[in-house]
Amino acid sequence: MTDTTTHRPVGRLGNPALSLADDPRADPRMVAVLGALGATGHADDAPMDRTAGRDALLAFVSAVEEGFEGFFAALAGSWAPVPGVVRDTREPAPGVTLHVHRPEGVEGPLPVVYQIHGGGMVMLGTTGPAYMHWRDELAAAGSVVVGVEYRNGAGRLGAHPFPAGLDDCATGLHWVLDHLDELGGTHVVVTGDSGGANLALAVAIRARREGWSDRISGIHALCPYVLGSWDRAPEQLHSLRENDRYWLNRELFPLLAEVYDPGAGNEDEPTCWPARATVDDLRGLPPHLISCSELDPLRDEGIAYHRKLLQAGVPSAGKVDLGLCHVGQILFRDAMPDVYAAAVREVVGFAASVRP
C-alpha cells in the first residue's frame, strides 16, 4: 500500500502567513494573554537595518526598550508579592549593583543563584518588576539569589558595547564567589535568559580562559541568544524561519548585535557570541542546562550549543518546552502557574544537583 500522506513543515516554514495565534502548537493560555496585549500577530518589521548608523540604532533600541518595559510591567502588574523574602543590595564596584534576595528566617547554607537579566545585552534592567519577582520566587524556593545590574549596550543603562556588560557580570560573580560565607551560600550557579543567557555562557568561557571556571558549579541558560550574525547562520537552524515573527521578529536581532558589537568587530569572539566557541573552547566547563522554547526563533541555536557542549565532554542537559514563545517559561505567572512553577523548580533543582 502506498502512503499518500504528505508532510507539511511546521510553523511558518509550512505556511508563511501563519501567526502565533494560529499555530496549533501554541499553548492557548499563552495566546490568550498575548492576544489581550495585541502581541499574537506578526511582530513588526524593523524600520532600519544594521547600516543605519549608530545614533539611529541607539535611538531605535531605546524605543524598543520602552515598549518591552511596558509589556513586562503589564504582565507582572497583577502578580501577587512573594511572601517570606528579604531583599538587600551590594555594590562590588562603581556602577555594578547586586540585588540579593534570600528566604526570610532561613539560616542556610543555601545554593547561590547568580542571575543575569535578558534584553539582548543592550536593554532592560535587573530592577524590572518581572525580574524582581523571578528572583523572589527562586529565593522562596530555597536559594540565595543575586541579580547583577550591568552596563547595557544601549537604552537607559547604555551605551556601553561589548565587553562592558560582560566585564560587569564577571566582576559581580567574583564578588559573590569571594563572599559565599557572608551570603550564607554553599556554591554558585549562574542563570540567565535570552541575552542574559548569552552572558551566563560567555562568563563561563571567560572564566575557563582565566583559570577560575572550577569555582562555578553550573550554568543554566534559558532561550540563549548566542549566534549574533544570522547571515552566517547554519541552514539547519530551522527555527529562525519556522518561528519568525512569533512575538519576536528576526530582523530585530542583527540591529541588537550591531549595537552590542559595533562593526561586528568581535563576531568570531566566543565571549561575545558563544555560538562561535570551538569544542576546545568549551572543554572542562562546569555542568550546563540549556532550556529552549518550541516557538522561539532562537530555539535551534540553543540546541546546537547544547550539542557542542556534549562534543566537548561537558555534562549538559538540553530541553525544549512545548507551546511556548521566547522565554515564555517566566512570562505568564498568573495564566500559566504550572509552567512558571516548573521553571522555578528547574533552576533551584539544577542548583541543588550540582552541589560539590
Residue with cell 490568550: 32
Look at residue 323 and tell me if it is in a domain: yes
Measured CA to CA, the distance from residue 206 to residue 330 in angstroms comes to 27
Look at residue 14 and tell me if it is in a domain: no
Provide the H-helix boundaries in 262-336: 279-282, 299-311
pLDDT above 50: residue 255: yes
Backbone angles phi, psi at 346, to 5 degrees: -60, -50
In this prediction, what percent of the chain has a pLDDT beyond 90?
89
Exposure b/e, 326-352, CB count within 10 A at least 16 = b = bbbbbbbbebbeebbeebbebbbebbb
pTM (predicted TM-score)? 0.96
pLDDT above 60: residue 123: yes
Determine the distance from the C-alpha atom of residue 336 to the mean position of all C-alpha atoms in its chain, rounded to a whole number: 19
pLDDT of residue 108: 81
What average pLDDT does this structure show over 223-228? 95
What average pLDDT does this structure show over 232-238? 78
332: domain CATH number is 3.40.50.1820
Measured CA to CA, the distance from residue 194 to residue 117 in angstroms comes to 8
The model's pLDDT over 58-92, given as tens digits with 9 standing for 90+, comes to: 999 999 999 999 999 999 999 999 999 999 999 99
pLDDT above 60: residue 4: no
Residue 1 — pLDDT band, cuts 50, 70, 90? very low
Q: In which domain, by residue range, is 284 found?
A: 50-353
pLDDT of residue 243: 97
DSSP helix/strand/coil, 242: helix
What average pLDDT does this structure show over 246-250? 91
Look at residue 162 and tell me if it is in a domain: yes
pLDDT above 60: residue 288: yes
Question: Which of 240, 273, 268 minimizes the C-alpha distance to 257?
Answer: 273
The mean pLDDT value of the chain amounts to 95
Question: Which of 326, 354, 345, 356 minimizes the C-alpha distance to 34?
Answer: 326
Grid cell, residue 259, equals 549595537
Look at residue 24 and tell me if it is in a domain: no
Are 244 and 253 spatial neighbours (Cβ–Cβ below 8 Å)?
no
In this prediction, what percent of the chain has a pLDDT beyond 70?
97
pLDDT of residue 233: 67
Look at residue 84 and tell me if it is in a domain: yes
Domain count, the chain: 1
pLDDT of residue 81: 96
Look at residue 12 and tell me if it is in a domain: no
What average pLDDT does this structure show over 323-335? 98
pLDDT above 90: residue 293: yes
Handedness of CA 341, 137, 225, 12 (dihedral sign): positive
pLDDT of residue 228: 84
Least confident of 4-8, 232-236, 269-273: 4-8
Residues constituting the chain: 356
Are 186 and 195 spatial neighbours (Cβ–Cβ below 8 Å)?
no
What average pLDDT does this structure show over 100-122? 96
More confident residue, 11 or 233: 11
Look at residue 141 and tell me if it is in a domain: yes
pLDDT of residue 76: 95
pLDDT above 80: residue 24: yes
More confident residue, 46 or 168: 168
What average pLDDT does this structure show over 263-287? 97
Look at residue 144 and tell me if it is in a domain: yes
Determine the distance from the C-alpha atom of residue 116 to the mean position of all C-alpha atoms in its chain, rounded to a whole number: 8
